[in-house]
Structure 1
Amino acid sequence: MPPKQPAPKAWPSSILYLTAPIYSPTITKDHLTALRTQDPTLPSINTTKGPSNLVKITPISSPTHPANGQSGLFASMDLKPGTFILQYLGEIHCSPDPRHSNPEDNIADTHSTSNYDLSLDRELGIGVDADKAGTEARFINDYRGVAERPNAEFKEIWDERRGERGMGVFVLPEGRKGKNKGIRKGEEILVSYGRGFWGARKDDGE
């Protein structure tokens, strides 16, 4: 476990603030080799340590907001289309656990129900889960019920500082019709969690 780092304002004391990913015991040497093999198609980002000056965590008190009573991530300055905002850090893990390949082991996957788990390599089953540790990016909400469309997106990156693949948050590009104008100072940063996220939770509710 990395040493505790100075956290941004409004950071919950129960969550570890990260400046580098942590690794689950489910991650093998082969997984690390795959993650540390550069893919030239990925955007290469020189990531920085510590709180980002581009964003701020803000409690939400609007009764109409789906995350009312929780927090969201807001832009602290104007962000142009295509801008890299910050890295999504957490616990890098493999699901299912390769140490328990026998189905009869019946080992529960603690990440399968996490609301903060993003896929990093679907073929290898590698994900990054910010449930218990992460960066400000873990506070990004889905656009549904808040805005007509998302203004940001998750994209895989090559982390130059660590020499490893990772997940980043970007302002949506302008698009062919130039509809995306960036994110203005004070606006909430919103992504699409995807149909799979909401479909799984609908099934759980039923």
Structure 2
Amino acid sequence: MGKSGKSPGGGRAPPTEKTTSPWPSDVTYLTSLHYGDDVKRAKEIYAKYRVSGDDPILASAASTKKIARWQRIVDANHPARGEHGLFASRKLERGERIVDYLGHVSLRGNESQTSDYTASFGDAHELALDAEKMGNEARMINDFRNTGKRANALFDQYVDAAGDTKLGVFVGPHAIGKGEEILVSYGKGFWRNRVGDMSAFTGHDE
């Protein structure tokens, strides 16, 4: 996350207001979840999480409220220097939903095994949500490790007004100030699979 990723071009143009870096041209910008055919064929699963059926999916919070912006990180001490991060456009209150994590939804096991943008989805984690090739602002969120800061936001599943299940990013127990970077924990499993030795990190405890 926080990286530009790779994907075929196309898709609708993302909003560009209040950003200091253009949206990656090789990533399709989404305003709603993109369900794969494998999920649609699993009709009971699809109906459980996509209650609204063929109705238009409600848009992401940040796309409509402009409460977060992405930008390239230039801080030489930041572990994601040269990549992207997500920052608060205004003060964000404790527990506030910042943005929905959008991407391609597949049955668990069918997702990319090399993507750094995959999150578990569903009550029993029977789905995977991957924002490597298509997604929204939420794919820019960085892990807090080695930033010198603590995680100030978290992922949580919720049900929207239409009855559809979403994966949201919510403010943690403390407010986030305007201009602050939004940071989450990717989880120790994420990093163990990539670097092995967690001792290389500062602030690595959950």
What TM-score do you get using the length of structure 2 for normalisation? 0.77
Of residues 174, 182, 186, the one that matches 1:193 is 186
Residue 125 of structure 1 and its aligned partner are, at CA, apart by 2.3
1:4 and 2:11 are equivalent in the alignment: yes
Task: Please tell me the root mean square deviation across aligned C-alpha atoms, in Å.
Answer: 2.4
**Does the C-alpha gap of structure 1 residues 203 and 155 become closer, same or farther in structure 2, counting only changes over 3 Å?**
same
1:119 and 2:133 are equivalent in the alignment: no
Of residues 16, 29, 41, the one that matches 2:43 is 29
**Does the C-alpha gap of structure 1 residues 64 and 96 become closer, same or farther in structure 2, counting only changes over 3 Å?**
same
Amino acid at match of 1:199: R
What percentage of residue pairs aligned between the two structures are identical? 39
What CA distance in whole angstroms lies between the structure 2 residues aligned with 1:51 and 1:12? 20
What CA distance in whole angstroms lies between the structure 2 residues aligned with 1:56 and 1:154? 18
**Does the C-alpha gap of structure 1 residues 49 and 154 become closer, same or farther in structure 2, counting only changes over 3 Å?**
closer
Asked whether the 8 Å contact 1:7–1:17 carries over to 2, the reply is yes
**Does the C-alpha gap of structure 1 residues 49 and 184 become closer, same or farther in structure 2, counting only changes over 3 Å?**
closer
Residue 127 of structure 1 and its aligned partner are, at CA, apart by 1.2
Residue 126 of structure 1 and its aligned partner are, at CA, apart by 0.3
Q: Which has the higher contact order (CA 8 A, sep 6+)?
A: 1
What CA distance in whole angstroms lies between the structure 1 residues aligned with 2:182 and 2:127? 25
Q: Match for residue 171 of structure 1?
A: 171
Asked whether the 8 Å contact 2:102–2:129 carries over to 1, the reply is yes
What CA distance in whole angstroms lies between the structure 1 residues aligned with 2:31 and 2:59? 13
Q: Which runs of 5+ in 2 are unaligned?
A: 1-9, 17-21, 53-57, 198-206
What CA distance in whole angstroms lies between the structure 1 residues aligned with 2:114 and 2:137? 21
SS of the equivalent of 2:63 reads coil
1:72 and 2:73 are equivalent in the alignment: no
Structure of larger gyration radius: 1
**Does the C-alpha gap of structure 1 residues 147 and 81 become closer, same or farther in structure 2, counting only changes over 3 Å?**
farther
**Does the C-alpha gap of structure 1 residues 51 and 63 become closer, same or farther in structure 2, counting only changes over 3 Å?**
farther
Asked whether the 8 Å contact 1:57–1:73 carries over to 2, the reply is yes
Amino acid at match of 2:117: Y
Asked whether the 8 Å contact 2:121–2:127 carries over to 1, the reply is yes
What TM-score do you get using the length of structure 1 for normalisation? 0.77
Amino acid at match of 2:11: K
**Does the C-alpha gap of structure 1 residues 46 and 13 become closer, same or farther in structure 2, counting only changes over 3 Å?**
closer
SS of the equivalent of 1:138 reads helix
Q: Match for residue 100 of structure 1?
A: none
Q: Deviations over 1:90-137 (max 9, x none)?
A: 00011224xxxxxxxxxxxx5222111110126352011100111100
What CA distance in whole angstroms lies between the structure 2 residues aligned with 1:196 and 1:83? 26
SS of the equivalent of 2:195 reads helix
Q: Deviations over 1:56-115 (max 9, x none)?
A: 111111121111110100001111111111111100011224xxxxxxxxxxxx522211
